């Protein structure tokens, strides 16, 4: 019988906790929210405790935090229109770079798998790609204006420099750099959701994407490469992404986040009905029309909306969640 067991409830933030992010080694995590602080947590004995609080980096809500793949840098995106980069080269965490350019709220930040690129997005409808140009130096490589509304989330493909973004305009877009002229452009638009797409997550291969929306559904999209065996028509030698599965009837309010575990293949969602749900792909799932079963429903996971869920990157089946109720919870999943 699969279940999600509460390991610890972590308090310390005041007001909404918007996001939690595991360090790549899975032994530290960062959290952020309405109180404009970033807290770094690690385990002391059996208990997770606050090790460091990063203050004065931002003047408004901190919406998202992201660790670089090497684990040495932490990026934070804020409603104050800036993205801060923190590191502890001096021995303690300090903000050593601020990325400015968005007109207003920055809503998401993500490092590419190589750690050489950063993406940010915000209410000004744009997605920015930044290059790590040197010590504490970041250069804007591209400003992508493909969406026509607020961009809610950016996420990178797990191994390639392909970027995905989710928007208030109900669509998801994918981007990559054209090696001939070093220009970034939109290579695919994924349209099927009927309201804001709040988040997205790639599977471990990067050939599938799961998206979640205010329309209360989760959608699974599959990449069909040029000359695919299924005979899906591909033009311009660019892959085509098709929605191959829609999970509807499970969530009762807006779905704010989704996380795909690269070890177990389990999908988990954070929902505005305060519930965390876990889905597992059926053994007999057809790659062109996959089926997923709801294997766990954690009622009352939080006392208010769940804003974020994230699997521990080491694959130990630990999961973090955070909520409008000001709490962070650490869970352990068992089959």
Partner 1 sequence: MISFFSKLSLNNSQKPPVELAKPAYMDKSATLQELGYRDENDLKETIYDFLRTIRDPEKPSTLEDLKVVYEEGIFVKEPTADKVPVLRVEYNPTVPHCSLATLIGLCIRIKIQRSIHHPVKLDIYIKKGAHTTEDEINKQINDKERIAAAMENPNLRNLVENCIADEE
Q: Cβ distance 42 to 49 under 8 Å?
A: yes
Least Å from the CB of residue 19 to partner 1: 11
In DSSP notation, 213-281 reads ETTS-EEEEEEE-TT-TT-----TT--EEEEEEEE-SS-SS-EEEEEE-TTT--EEEEETTS-EEEEEE
User: If binding is defined by CB under 8 A, does position 15 make contact with partner 1?
Assistant: yes
Closest CA to 277 of 261, 298, 262, 291: 298
Residue number, 23 or 251, with CB nearest to partner 1: 251
User: What is the closest distance, in whole angstroms, from the C-beta atom of residue 225 to partner 1 in the complex?
Assistant: 35
Candidates 173-181, 233-241, 308-316, 321-329; binding stretch for partner 1 (CB under 8 A)? 321-329
3-class secondary structure, 162: coil
Distance CA 100, CA 176 (A): 22
Least separation, in Å, of the C-beta of 269 and partner 1? Answer: 14
CA dist 134 and 139 (Å) reads 9
Smallest gap, in angstroms, from Cβ of residue 295 to partner 1? Answer: 16
Residue with tokens 């999600």: 4
DSSP 268-319: EEEETTS-EEEEEE-TT-BTTB--EEEEEEETTSSSS-EEEEEE-TTSSSEE
Contact string (CB under 8 A) for partner 1, positions 146-175, x = contact: ----x-x---------------x-------
Does 274 bind partner 1 (CB under 8 A)? Our answer is: yes
C-alpha–C-alpha distance, residues 14 and 240, integer Å: 44
The footprint of partner 1 on residues 275-314 (CB under 8 A) is: 275, 297, 299-300, 303-305
Among 6, 9, 11, 14, binds partner 1 (CB under 8 A): 14
Contact with partner 1 (CB under 8 A) among 193, 306, 326, 330: 326
Q: Which of 23, 107, 173, 193 binds partner 1 (CB under 8 A)?
A: 107
Contact with partner 1 (CB under 8 A) among 29, 67, 73, 79: 79
Region of residue 227 (phi > 0: left; psi between -120 and 50: alpha; otherwise: beta):
left
Residue numbers 213-272 binding partner 1 by CB under 8 A: 214, 252-253, 272
Positions touching partner 1 (CB under 8 A) are 14-16, 34-35, 59-61, 63, 79-81, 104-105, 107, 123, 150, 152, 168, 195-196, 214, 252-253, 272-275, 297, 299-300, 303-305, 324-326
């Amino acid at each position: 019988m699969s279940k999600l067991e509460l390991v610890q409830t972590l308090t310390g933030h005041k007001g909404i906790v918007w996001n939690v992010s595991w360090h790549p080694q899975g032994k530290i995590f960062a959290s952020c929210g309405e109180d404009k602080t970033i807290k770094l947590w690690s385990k002391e004995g059996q208990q997770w405790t606050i090790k460091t609080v990063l203050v004065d980096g931002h003047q408004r809500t901190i919406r998202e935090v992201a660790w670089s793949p090497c684990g040495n840098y932490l990026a934070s995106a804020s409603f104050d229109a800036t993205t801060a980069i923190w590191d502890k080269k001096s021995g303690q965490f300090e903000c050593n770079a601020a990325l400015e350019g968005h007109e207003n709220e920055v809503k998401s930040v993500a490092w590419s798998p190589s750690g050489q690129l950063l993406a940010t997005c915000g209410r000004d409808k744009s997605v920015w790609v930044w290059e790590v140009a040197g010590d504490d130096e970041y250069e804007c490589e591209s400003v992508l204006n493909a969406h026509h509304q607020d961009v809610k989330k950016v996420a990178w493909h797990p191994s390639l420099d392909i970027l995905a973004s989710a928007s208030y305009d109900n669509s998801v877009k994918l981007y990559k750099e054209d090696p001939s002229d070093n220009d970034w452009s939109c290579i695919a638009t994924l349209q099927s959701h009927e309201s804001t797409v709040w988040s997205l997550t790639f599977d471990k291969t990067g050939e599938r994407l799961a998206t979640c929306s205010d329309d209360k559904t989760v959608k699974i999209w599959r990449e069909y490469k040029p000359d695919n065996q299924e005979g899906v028509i591909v033009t311009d030698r660019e892959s085509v992404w098709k929605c191959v599965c829609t999970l509807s009837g499970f969530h009762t309010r807006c779905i704010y986040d989704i996380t795909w575990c690269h070890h177990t293949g389990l999908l988990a969602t954070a929902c505005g009905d305060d519930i965390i749900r876990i889905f597992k792909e059926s053994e007999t799932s057809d790659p062109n029309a996959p089926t997923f079963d709801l294997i766990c429903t954690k009622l009352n996971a939080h006392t208010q909306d769940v804003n974020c869920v994230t699997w521990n990157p080491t694959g130990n089946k630990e999961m973090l969640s955070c909520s409008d109720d000001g709490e962070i919870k650490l869970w352990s999943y068992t089959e």
